[in-house]
Amino acid sequence: MLRRILNTGLFLGALFCTLPACTKTIAAVDGKGYSANTDVQTFIDEMVDEHAFDRDQLNSIFSQAERRDDIIELMSRPAEKRLEWGEYRKIFLTKSRIEGGVAFWEANEAILRQAEEKFGVDAQVIVAIIGVETRYGGNTGSHRVIDALSTLAFDYPPRSKFFRGELEHYLILAREENIDLLSTKGSYAGAMGYGQFIPSSYRHYAVDFDGDGVRDLWDSPMDIIGSVANYIHVHGWDLGATVTTPASVSGDDYPALVEKGYKPNTSVGKMQASGITPASPVPADAQAALLELVNTQGPEYWLALNNFYVITRYNHSPLYAMAVYQLSEEIRNAREQRQQALND
């Protein structure tokens, strides 16, 4: 496993020797990195008291963690907040990403089928999430996770509490899964692997689908696919159910429905009575949300059902969920066309 520590040596052996009984330690490097930060020292106190980490080892780790201004800048302007749907869609609905999805599906067809059966999540959605997140593993991140999480925990006040918790999870995760704290790379938010799991999600939702005793989200296709499927399953996916459908609007009531947000909040029957017409049949008693997405030609409207909301639990953005949905449909259609061509 590329991300595993397979050798010991004084440094690596001591790095993960986190119980009081360990005898090898590393001297802290004073005055460098984050180790001299008073908030970091308080955090280290908590990790020692609550999780039995070795103080010298944590001081050494944080002396090598670096503040990254580019991470703060990226966190302050994510694409989901600065782009309209028409621009956002162009990033993910591309020929290369569709073809890559077909290739990924075909290469992992048996695993995807197994995951669909075990977790009840449609294979096309699993593939699309991995495609949106990392181009099927082509870009799993270039930032050291320890730098990203330290920067956001101690130098990004708007979300410092959240990322302090993620940093805690990361240290524990490294101990649980034997992950190299200092070399592991991920996104600017500290997300890791093909599916871009933040540390708390890694600990809570990643699964050892191949049964080898570790949950490897970089090098095990079974763990990667199984973990994404498990995440979506736990959040309430309904296999084969409608995700979203286009809708037309009329009258004066639809703006108020849009304002309610993207969590299903109104029955389709009530929406129809308010001038909302789905493009495809949806049960009148189904709960849905009305989305307004701005495309290059103007606004477009969609009814978002439970499965759409489940995708937003992976990334809390309706733009993200719509990109996953539309990419999943394009991949499925392209795969079916390919199979039909091979059979002709």
Candidates 210, 201, 123; CA nearest to 162 is: 201
Candidates 260, 251, 262; CA nearest to 302 is: 262
The amino acid that residue 268 corresponds to is V
Q: Identify the residue whose tokens are 């938010």.
A: 189
Do β-strands 287-295 and 298-304 pair in parallel, antiparallel, or remain unpaired? Answer: antiparallel
> 310, 237 in Cβ contact below 8 A?
yes
Cα 216 from chain centroid (whole Å): 15
> 165, 212 in Cβ contact below 8 A?
no
330 is catalytic: no
User: Can you give the C-alpha Rg of the chain in angstroms?
Assistant: 23
Q: In the chain, what is the straight-line distance between the N-terminal and C-terminal CA atoms, in Å?
A: 41
Beta bridge partners of 185: 144
Q: How many CB atoms lie within 10 A of CB 339?
A: 12
- Cβ neighbors of 317 (< 8 A, separation 6 or more) are 80
List the structure tokens of 284: 């009148």
| 267, containing H or E segment | strand 266-267
Q: Cα separation of 200 and 247, whole Å?
A: 37
> 140, 196 in Cβ contact below 8 A?
yes
Of the residues 116, 133, 166, 177, which is catalytic?
Answer: 133
The residues carrying an active-site annotation are: 133
